Structures are given as structure tokens and as C-alpha cells.
Structure 1
């Protein structure tokens, strides 16, 4: 059902609902009756304006009706008129309020509200804010939005926002750019972890044991008086690995790891430069748009509301300052910044994997010197002493 027909049906529903009056004292009865009649009048006026596609005027009528009569059908029509008049942020707030108010009564229009909320959120940004401490006060652009942990992502207008968390006199702040239809992750750390220092043990220490000295070999005595030249296997090797450079020169694992590291570093460094460039351009554009909007008198009451703080919200304000072009450039730069950051992260992670591959490969596959010794016998020359010969 399209919004126009939905508004008309809800208008008829509310019209009958507002005619139902409770039994009360005469004075209160008269006052309630007058309020209900006026609310019904404003509501039907809003339905007519909505049907004529005069969404801003319909919104104003529904606001007046809701101020007089807190009825969920009025609230839903108000949210629909805000969505159709280019106010997705306000619409999302009223769709959520409707869903909260009707959570327990199985209202037949809850499905319409869910779809309207999803459509609104395609035109605004959302911030998933996490804080390292529980019960910390969370503020966005200086306004309190709750305490940590927040139950769901926070709806915000597209553009730059300052997010802050405070507790016990400490705080953490981060600036983030909200993008249409996307959830931005914001992680705040109020108390960074400190590296602990292991205590130095004191007291008596066990004396160092010196390995026993092997007694000097006694000169072998033979009857021949000649040099005894025999193959000998050296079993006293320390078992150290072959030198790293020698291993790297022959190991395929080292070649693969070096290649991955080089490619990863190239991507990481290249896109880090690109990320800093696009982020700087985006920050400059935000500053220019904000400065320009703050002094633009055409935005003070643009389409019935003050747009000086965010002229890039949909629909983008159209004045002599050419906001559509500037806001389009800002969104393009924010998209480029997010893409460059993603590729930069992937590149540096790949480089880390390459280094880990090289280190792990060396410790797992490098030859040990004790193996080489066992496979390569050496000649031992032993001097012999006999009664007739010395040497």
C-alpha cells in the first residue's frame, strides 16, 4: 500500500478512535471532547494535505494533532510525512517511537513502521559506539545520548560528528564521518591498558652449577709408535640452526614469505598515502561547508527549519552557495577515504602474514648443526707416546 492510501486509511481509523470518549466529570468531559475534536480536525487536515503531496504542510498538521492527542496512528502518519518531505532523521526517530509505543499491543501497522524505518536509515548515518568502561556517559556533538553500553547503533545525520565518553573525570574523544546507509564503528578507550612489570625476585639464589670438566685424555699407548688417524664423530655439538641468510637463500618458504611481505608493504604504504590525502580533502571540505553554511542567511529557515548546521542532509540545500556540488564532493571523498583505509589495512596485515611465514618457516625447516655433524665424520689426529717415540 502506497503512503498516500496508508495515510487515508489511518485517517479514517483515527477519526473513529477519536470519537470514543471516556465517562468523566462534566467539566473534564467537555475539555477532553474539545481537545479530541481539535485533534481530529488537525489530523484530517494532515491526511488531505498528504493526499495532495504537500508533505511539509501535512507534517505540520500531524505535529499539531499529536500534540493534542498522543495516538499511535497520528505518530505513524507524522513519520511517513517526514520521510516523504525529505526529513529522514526525524522520520527514523518517530518510526522508532511508534514501534516502542506499540510493542505490546500487536498494532497492525507495525510492519509499515519497520519498512519506513529501514527506508529512513538508508538516507542517514549510524554510529556503533563501544566504550571500554561500563556506565560511561556518551555524548555526540556535545549532547548526551546515553550510557555505555548502548543497546543499538545511534542514528545521526550524514557528516562529521564528535563522539565522547566520560567517567570518573576521564574522557576519550573521536571524530567520525557518518555516511548514508552505513554503520560506522566508533571505539573509545577511556583507560588504556598499562603494561605490567614483572617483580624482580629477591633473596638467596641457588649457586650456579658448573658442568664437570672432562679429564684430559691420557696419551694412547701402542706398540707401533705411529700416529693413530681414525674417523671420529663429534657428539658434543650445541645443536644450533644454520645461519638465517643461508636458509633464506635455499628455502621456498622464504621466497613466498618475502613476496607476500613486499606486496603487502607496497599496498599498505601506497594506500596509507592515499588515505591521508583523501581524508585531508574531506576535512577541508567539511570545514569549508560548515563555515559557508554558518554565515548563509538562506539556511536559517530553509524549508521550515534551520539548516545552518548541516546543509548536506537530504534534500541538500540549494542556495547561491552551491551546496549540492560541495556536498557531492564531500561524499565522494568520504567514500574514497573509507576504501583507501580498507586496502591499507589489508596490505599491512598481508605484510605481517608474510613476516610471520618467514619466521615460522625458519624455525620449522632450518637445518640443525648437530644433524650436519652426525652426517659428516671428521678426522681426529691423536698424538701417541711410546717409550721410543714422541709426537
Structure 2
């Protein structure tokens, strides 16, 4: 994705990106957008709107500075003197009336955007399924390992052995090798299931904690998943 850093000369002005409200000036942090061209606009009840079209590269950031000017009244636009104010200029001419400067409105907090919890529920359910599969494979691997120990003990107690096994023990040794293979298979399947369950759980937590667009994230906290060979986890980054 790309990012837009938007600044407006008047606090409280409504900021829109491609016609969508993203907050009021001054914005907290950047506005994340897809790569390409985007139209950024600032609106205020007492000011003329201003807009700018910028192009954002993938992974890049574009800075947008919008200057909005006060709206001129009809009397100011036509040069007609209003009652109780203004002064004549030249021979009977009337100059524009200088009124009090407009007072910027205090920025109003935007209503929080409702988060869609369906992905969190789906990812959590999938993580639980993966955990259940991992536990089942672990139990199966342990049972197969117990069977293998019992088979090996039976061969040893009968006075035989599998290396260079005589014909009398060939069947028992084949079953022992099959059991050992099942132990390895179940063990690897359990590892894959536990890993998948962990990744899905990390994805669910990341989605649940990720700051929503247009809302102020306290301390600009970012929650990111981290997976490497042998382990996985969550990295929380922030600045205070």
C-alpha cells in the first residue's frame, strides 16, 4: 500500500480522499491508500473547498498541503457597503467590508467505525480446528510409539532381534518398522497442525487489534505477526 500525509491550513476542516471522509484536520498519522492516483479534498463551512490530485507509488508516501480561504459574502464580492461598517474609497466609491476573522471550529470526533468480527470468528474457529487436529495427531503418535515399544520388547523377550532377523522374526520386525513409520508420520502431522493453528490465531489477534481507518490509535500502536522456523509470535510496536 501507499500513504498520504495530509495537512490543512484550518483546523476542523473535513478531509476526504476519493470522496470518502477520513477525518478532520489535523489528521493523526498517515492515510493508507492503494497505489495510484487519488483526489484529496478539504472542506469547511466557512471556507472555500480546496483539492489536489496526487499519485502514490507502492510502498511510498505523498505529502498533500491544502490551503483553504474564507468564503466571501455577497456584499464583499460586489463591493456594496453594509450597514454600520465599511468606509468609502475614492470619489464616493465603497470598498469591501472588513469583518471579524472567522474562528476555526474545534475538530469533532468521528463516530467509531464498526469492526467486522466475522474474520476474527472464522480465523479463531480455524485455529481451534488446527489445534484439535494437532492434539489428535499427538495422541495417535504417542499411541503408535507405545505400540512400537511393546512390539520391540516382545521381540527382545523372545530372544530375537531385527538386525539380520531370522525368518521367524521377519513378520514381527516388519510390523515394528511400520509402527515406527506411523510414529514419524503422526508426529510431523501434529507439528504442521500446531503451526497452522498458531498462524491462524496470530492472524485473528492481529485483525482484532489493528487500528481502524479514520480512528485515533492510542500511541500509534501497531501489532504485527512474526513467524520464523521453530516459533511464531506477535510484535507490538508503538511510540509514546
Q: Same-fold call, TM > 0.5?
A: no
TM-score bracket for the superposition, by shorter chain length: 0.3 to 0.5
Q: Normalised by the size of structure 2, how large is the TM-score?
A: 0.40
Give the greater-gyration-radius structure (CA): 1
